[in-house]
Amino acid sequence: MGGRLTMAFKYTKTETTIEILPGLLTKQDSLSLNAFGLNYFIKPVIRLTKIDGGFIDYSKSLIYVRQKDFGDNPDVAYIVDGKIFIQDVGVTDGYGLIKKNPSTNKALQKKLKGVNKDNCTIEIVRGLEAYKRYGIKRVYGVVVITTKQ
């Protein structure tokens, strides 16, 4: 049976930022954090900038949002030659089992059938870059398809 790791963090906040200051770590605790991929918490200070609907860590180019702010039915935006289509992605449970199948966006399907895959560029934008370009509701992803004229 493995040991238990408990970490206590202090934080300071202002109107625009939150700074998370981790407590002292032993060498063994640092090794444990690394082993579980949690080395982000070894960093001396984590500085998050508040935005409407989340937080941004500019040093790591990460954006944090609360899943509950996005509702129970997530979606992905497709932008095909400047026209926006919203595609439902369905709902899964904690085990990855489908709870609700995604509904089909027939207009999107029709538009995609008309796209020549050899004559277009496809760009997938997610996270902080999606926020910067398309707003907070699109941080989970945007597929941008541009056909060459």
Task: Please tell me the distance from the alpha carbon of residue 130 to that of residue 64, in angstroms, as a whole number.
Answer: 13
Q: If you average pLDDT over residues 109-130, what whole number do you get? A: 93
pLDDT of 31-60, one tens digit each? 888 888 777 777 678 899 999 889 999 988
pLDDT > 90: percent of the chain: 44
Which residues 6+ apart lie within 8 Å of 49 measured at CB? 16, 17, 55, 56, 57, 58
pLDDT of 8-22, one tens digit each? 778 899 999 999 887
- Please tell me the predicted confidence (pLDDT) of residue 1: 45
Q: Is the separation of the CB atoms in 144 and 125 below 8 Å?
A: yes
Q: Is the pLDDT of residue 75 over 80?
A: yes
Q: Is the pLDDT of residue 67 over 70?
A: yes
Size of the chain, expressed as the number of residues it contains: 149
